[in-house]
Amino acid sequence: MTRSTDTLRGLATRAIHDGQHPDPTTGAVVPPIYQTSTFVQDGVNQFREGGHEYSRGSNPTRNGFEEQLASLEHGTRAFAFSSGMAAEDALLRAVLQPGDHVVLAADVYGGTFRLVDRVLSGWGISHSIVPSASADDAARTVRPGSTAVLWLETPSNPLLRVADIAAWARVADDAGALLVVDNTFATPALQNPLALGAHAVAHSTTKYIGGHSDVLGGAVVVGDAHWRGETLAERLAFQQFACGAVAGPFDAFLAARGLKTLPLRMERHCSNALEVAHFLRSRDDVVEVHYPGLEDHPQHDLAAQTLHGGFGGIISFRPAGGVRAAHEFVAASELYNLSVSLGGVESLACVPHSMTHASRVGTAYEVPEDLVRLSVGLESIDDHLADLDRALGAASRVGRGDVPSAGGARQQAA
């Protein structure tokens, strides 16, 4: 029997139950993985219960995950894709046409910038970049009559800027445009952009939603907004089916499993990150720390109003010794593995300038060369602090020129 969840409203409860009903045939508590490409019909176009025909169009495992995510984001529909970039590409192609203009907040993910700057530009899409997270600056960047999409990431990657989503939504509405919010860093455990006026939410489900660094995926969640004569849901459904970059059944299963523990994991990510941020702020060998949970963060008060339950698990900082120190830090750390991803249970570090945001090098919006981004994992906080102390000590010595950088030799050898 399918149990109604209409009265189950808590975030953690919805994460576990919505879209994840026990199997009606066997009673299996965990819905099975429908690892199939196609479905038998009882007659020509006579589909069995659920209406499944071909897994590009629909699959019970993917549909369950989409229902689960839509519930957490307070959306009407969610669409799961094979990667975060596939999700972004599908969304933008579903709503844009040649001659349209896109407004990007300054430090969106490098892959988003590359998609708009190098791929969509070849199809007649222009773009402008807002030099900050300010809605007022966004309003000044809008081109009346041609701006179709405003794209915002908050907290942003990698400088952790926080934006007023409701204010950006008003700018979009005034321009007759759509506001898309990349909610990968905050996740629906901390922030629901649709409830603040956004028209669509994008996720790399590879990150916190999957949560275990073992699945690649992306998603778009929409509310009841209309665009150019159709609902956004209708446009996304067509784009997903027509172009086919869907999440496979096993990937959808892993993402759904991760989503069930998202609220609990985010509590630990946030508490660990806040302690790590305070630790970094206390160090003489760290010159800059970006984390919205710190009271001296420029948008701390706004973050406290818009992020509920914590300030996220991502921190970026600049060591006192510059680029050499940054490279030595990521080489010397034993807990923070060097990787381009984030959001897993384990801690990761990267140097965005030459890794995740290399597509911006040479532009006015490239990130500092010596910026280090930390994805703070779920390990014991004492181990975090001990490892950071050791790695920063090594970075400090290299920055002063006291010792040669062993880490640089290791990276060249790799």
- The one catalytic residue in 34, 100, 109, 235 is 109
Indicate the residue type of 12.
Answer: A
Catalytic site includes residue 109: yes
- Please answer whether residues 121 and 253 qualify as being in contact, where contact means their C-beta atoms are separated by less than 8 angstroms: no
State the residue for tokens 């009903």: 21
Could you confirm whether 291 is annotated as catalytic?
no
Q: Cα 323 vs. chain centroid, distance in angstroms?
A: 27
- Beta bridge mates, 179: 150
Is 207 an active-site residue?
Answer: yes
The answer to whether 214 touches 183, Cβ cutoff 8 Å, is no
State the burial class of residue 252 (Cβ atoms within 10 Å of its Cβ: 0-12, 13-18, 19+): buried
Phi, psi of 246 (to 5 degrees): -85, 160
Residue type present at position 119: V
- The catalytically annotated residue of 62, 207, 360, 373 is 207
Per annotation, catalytic residue among 89, 164, 182, 251 = 182
Q: How would you class 393 by CB atoms within 10 Å of its CB: exposed for 0-12, middle for 13-18, buried for 19 or more?
A: middle
Helix (H, G, I), strand (E, B) or coil at 315: strand
The separation between the first and the last C-alpha atoms of the chain, rounded to the nearest angstrom, is 55
Task: Of 167, 130, 161, give the one whose Cα is nearest residue 147.
Answer: 130
Report how far residue 296's alpha carbon sits from residue 156's, in angstroms, rounded to the nearest whole number: 17
Strands lying side by side in the sheet with 286-290? 286-290, 314-319, 372-375, 348-350, 337-338
- The strand pair at 286-290 and 230-231 is best described as unpaired
**Residues with Cβ < 8 Å from 226, sequence gap 6 or more?**
232
d(CA 13, CA 214): 24
In DSSP notation, 238-302 reads HHHHHH--BPPHHHHHHHHHHHHTHHHHHHHHHHHHHHHHHHHHT-TTEEEEE-TTSTTSTTHHH
Please choose, from the candidates 174, 143, 133, 151, the residue with its C-alpha nearest in 3D space to the C-alpha of residue 303. 133
Reading the block at residue 208, the tokens are: 């916190």
Structure tokens at 1: 């029997």
DSSP H helices in 96-141: 110-114, 135-141
- Annotated active-site positions, please? 56, 109, 182, 207
